[in-house]
Structures are given as structure tokens and as C-alpha cells.
Amino acid sequence: MLFTETELAGAFVIDLERHEDERGFFARTFCQREFTARELEPVVAQASIAFNHRRGTLRGMHFQYPPSSETKLVRCTRGSIVDVIVDLRPESPTFLQHVAVELDADSRRALYVPRRFAHGYQVLEDETETSYLIGEFHTPAAEGGLRYDDPRLGIAWPLEVTSISPKDRAWPLLDELEAELRRRMTLNH
């Protein structure tokens, strides 16, 4: 696997290191040793997929508060998406900054999302499927979210949003949420 750290410390784009021959190719998509060597958490508590019928669909921006915060390894297995992560670590110099990465089935590229990050994506093609390896169990009481269109985040989604859940549309703006976010995302050492 080929790891490239993003502008947000601890978040990595992971490309395949293909071993090709006349049959096609073979590539590792996950390795505990390689993750541990980069100080990434190699724990998988759950694996999930999301299927989206229409381009323009938006899912996010989701996170879980500590102690149930999650890592995610996200890969688009059919179609393509623009995946966006937001740093929610109050002690980080990139707090509330985001990175957008295009993931598609052809490249098989993945995005590693550290704990205390918000995550969401927009579908670029009809009939798109996304796969997640998640490092913590889903904990409804720890759920949180950011508004996808919050002007303070300044996320430039590539397409008009054609479909979004009522829950995702209703997340509060940062002006309402930031004090709680800072308090609940701060780790007590």
C-alpha cells in the first residue's frame, strides 16, 4: 500500500501497490503492520457499505464523540465520490479545516479518516457504492454532525445536492455547535 498524508495530520490517502501479471493484479487493501508502522489504528469493529442511486446525493458530515470516536477506511467500490473530512481536534493547528479527495472504483484509492474527524461525501455517478471499515461500534448516543453547507466550513461540493437525509440537512451550524464541539472533542490526558 502507498500512504500519502493529507494536509490534515493523521489522515492518509492510500493507493494500491499492484502486483500485475497476465491474469490481472493483486494488491493488499489493509494490513495491521503497515497501519501500525504509521501510527494509524488498525482496528476494525464494523464493515459497512452505502449504495446511492443518483449522482448529487450527499451523505454527511458525520462523526462520533469520544470515547466512541471512530476511525474509518473509506473506499468507493462502484462509481465515484468526492469524500470530505473535517478536523475536529481542538488542539490541532488544522481544527475545522477540511480536505476533499476523489475516490473511484477504477483507482481503488482509499481514505483513512482518524478519530475526531467529521466525514461525508457526494456521489458523482449514478449507482455508486462505498465501502467502510470502521474502528468503533456505532453508538447512537455519541452521534454528531456538521451541516454540509455551513459557510464557515466552506466546502465546495462539485454538484448540486440532489438528495440528502432530513437528519443530515438539520445538523446545526458551527456558530451554534462550536463550544460543545470543542468541549466534547478535547481529550483528557
Catalytic residues: 62, 132
Collapsed DSSP state (helix, strand, coil) of residue 84: strand
Contacts of residue 104, defined as CB under 8 A and 6 or more positions apart, other chains included, come to 76, 79, 80, 81, 124
Distances (CA, A) of 143 to 21, 60, 65: 45, 12, 7
Apex 96 CA angle, 76 and 11, nearest 5? 40
Give the Cα separation of 58 and 73 in Å (integer): 18
Task: Give the distance between the most distant pair of CA atoms in the chain.
Answer: 57
Residue with cell 477504477: 106
